[in-house]
Structure 1
């Protein structure tokens, strides 16, 4: 096919819409754009004038998939700003909440959204008929992520127990023991997913484009809740300098800001974390990585889905270890409906965590306990430029393929980044116009 015109609406970002636009004539690409056309949400404006206790609860409503990430990032920013320290017990419980969201989100994406691409299904619904056992396995793993969140955060969507200074209510030791048993009992399901996906990796398109990977890093652990910003190009950086790292800028075809650092774009998310922190993965996670031939530094964006599966193994082992540490130490007693006694200081605080899709940043300034200034940078925004440059490099390599295959691979490229609301649309109807 020498002449094509693709005008396709795609849904991405947080409840947002984007377009894939590609024009080619005589086998040469004339235009290739990743367009974000949804109106900006400006959710930072919701924080201004709000009390420090209210801000994290508001952030939990930003996203139904990443509510625990937003709350944990928001709480770090709030607590840094107003001068509050949390206990080691609460820090471990917050790590468990973030682990739960990671499990929930990764399973959702790999099992319900990416897997149909690999087996030639339009969605998970026909997949449930053709691969019933595999889909039931995915459902069980997804439920486990929900239970991790329910146990630590009170519910699986829009967390409620994480508050400034700690938790309004903590799980009991019996709750943690039950959760540990469920994690131990889920290894067979995870192994089954790894084995099944291993038979499908040939369906991943062959494509690489060298890029920069940015994530958190930590000397003592695989960085998720805590750490400092790290670039595969420039090394460790100060979290306080995040604005000069993300370098947000405006492009004509997008209502969302793009970002860049040492190169024209960078990648955040599971693949960035695995590339930057591979040595700190758990033993089981390294076994899974070896099974798929994933080694750092991998520049294939389609391997982000594999990196998510690698992280699932790590999250299981890490969560079991955290529960063991909490149980060995014994939970400090706390009343239900706990409300820490806080006298807020004035100040600015920055909170950065790893959301499932990459580093998430909240930045607040408080005066008299009230938020006066706010900024947030979400992972999907940070990946927009990398998606754009991947498309520019990828499209010329597939122009000679048939329409159905081009359609499938363009869908897969964007979905490989697991954009935040990709679950709202799986199948793209691409229109080709031959010249």
Structure 2
């Protein structure tokens, strides 16, 4: 063997260079939200974002199809099951649409009681979210359980506030969820004067707890990421009040319009990564919810709420979506103080006994729009002359926010490319949780029937009741 060949035979192969890896974050069914949503982020070895998606695999539940052919007396009870968290809001929005379609007028007392019911639900939902779902992120823990050891006093205060909200809703509507007293035209039972006075005291007694909760959040507000993206904010607006139950549909980029134009504002469309529809108006996406309402209506907040906003450093306009959690806490203060005002007005006017109203159904179309905890909600119905549903459309707040979450991701993730995967997962998950999404409330159904088959189906359902 020649020396040259021997050298070649004994020479060791050079070791292969280790592959340069990128980063991948994939969260299946993000925790501490209602329903199923996924986060997908891919960053290559050169810190270029290759994928960035907010996915919604939740199956729709076809409520709009369920109510076809049903009587107007049943609709609000059925659609309240769209959401166990916002059942009062769905009932009120449904009743508004029915009353609009049939020309039903209600008393001032009924309006005040409905506003109280909406405030109760707002308190229930917001306090549940900020205390149990959002606060752990700010305290650096994975759930609320460890806070029972490290922040027992503060946690007990938040639990007490949430218990108050549940009791307030029960006293107003008869139940904490899926209430039975709300009906088209009024209430089947109204609170007594003694019950209203008890409610007022309960609300007044909660104010020190709200102040303590705002102190806690003010102490950790710097844990919220410093991220801003300007977008369109949409919600009810009114010159008379911080609009929750009545108003036109306002926007930071568009003129205010009556709720009848809701389709021109939401402009729903489908995307491959989501079973829920997305929406947009003037901008590429829009945001609804507590922060949107704050940006549109902050001048009409109660004094207590304005004080808590200042303590938290929340100023309008605010373009940081993480601050939606702060806006929720501010709204809790407003709901308490405005509820006290409404109760005083009812006590001063005198409580009038109301029986379930007698209604003569008629054919017509109507639209309801109310603010529920996660944003503006629309219900639109068409009735026949027997008061049975021919067509229904429900546009849910979380559906309106999905596109905005995606656009926030697209702006946020490029700022995180130097972070490790755990930090990227935390900050994107916190962003989703900031919206407090209720992903299961996807209600739209796909119409696969021809016009002839549709007429036959509706006729069949109408006689089945």
TM-score above 0.5, yes or no: yes
**Aligned residue for 1:88?**
108
1:389 and 2:404 matched: no
1:146 and 2:163 matched: no
Q: How many angstroms apart in 2 are the aligned matches of 1:339 and 1:277?
A: 34
**Aligned residue for 1:23?**
42
Q: Give 1:136 deviation, angstroms.
A: 0.7
**Aligned residue for 2:149?**
129
Q: How many angstroms apart in 2 are the aligned matches of 1:77 and 1:137?
A: 38
Q: How many angstroms apart in 2 are the aligned matches of 1:385 and 1:312?
A: 26
CA contact 1:259–1:265 (8 Å) conserved in 2: yes
**Aligned residue for 1:244?**
264
Q: Which has the larger radius of gyration?
A: 2
Instruction: Give the counterpart of 2:425 among 397, 407, 415.
Output: 407
**Aligned residue for 1:350?**
367
Structure 2: 5+ residue stretches without partners: 1-19, 441-465
Q: How many angstroms apart in 2 are the aligned matches of 1:32 and 1:272?
A: 25
Structural mapping, 1:253-402, within 5 Å: 253-334=273-354, 338-367=355-384, 368-402=386-420
Cα pair distance change 1:12/1:360, threshold 3 Å: farther
Q: Which moved more, 1:379-388 or 1:164-173?
A: 164-173
Cα pair distance change 1:13/1:50, threshold 3 Å: farther
**Aligned residues, how many?**
419
Structural mapping, 1:103-122, within 5 Å: 103-122=123-142
CA distances 1:9-55 after superposition (whole Å, capped 9, x unpaired): 12599963121111110201011111111221121111111100100
Structure 1: 5+ residue stretches without partners: 423-435
In structure 2, the residue corresponding to 1:348 is in which secondary structure?
Answer: strand
CA contact 1:96–1:152 (8 Å) conserved in 2: yes
Q: How many angstroms apart in 1 are the aligned matches of 2:313 and 2:114?
A: 32
Displaced runs of 4+ in structure 1, greater than 6 A? none
1:57 and 2:77 matched: yes
Instruction: Give the counterpart of 2:198 among 174, 178, 190.
Output: 178
CA RMSD of aligned residues (A): 1.5
Judging by fraction of residues, say which structure has more strand.
1
Cα pair distance change 1:14/1:39, threshold 3 Å: farther
**Aligned residue for 2:462?**
none
CA distances 1:80-106 after superposition (whole Å, capped 9, x unpaired): 111211110011000000000000000
Q: Give 1:129 deviation, angstroms.
A: 2.0
Structural mapping, 1:6-45, within 5 Å: 6-11=25-30, 16-25=35-44, 26-45=46-65
Cα pair distance change 1:188/1:421, threshold 3 Å: farther
Q: How many angstroms apart in 1 are the aligned matches of 2:21 and 2:102?
A: 60
Q: How many angstroms apart in 2 are the aligned matches of 1:289 and 1:255?
A: 36
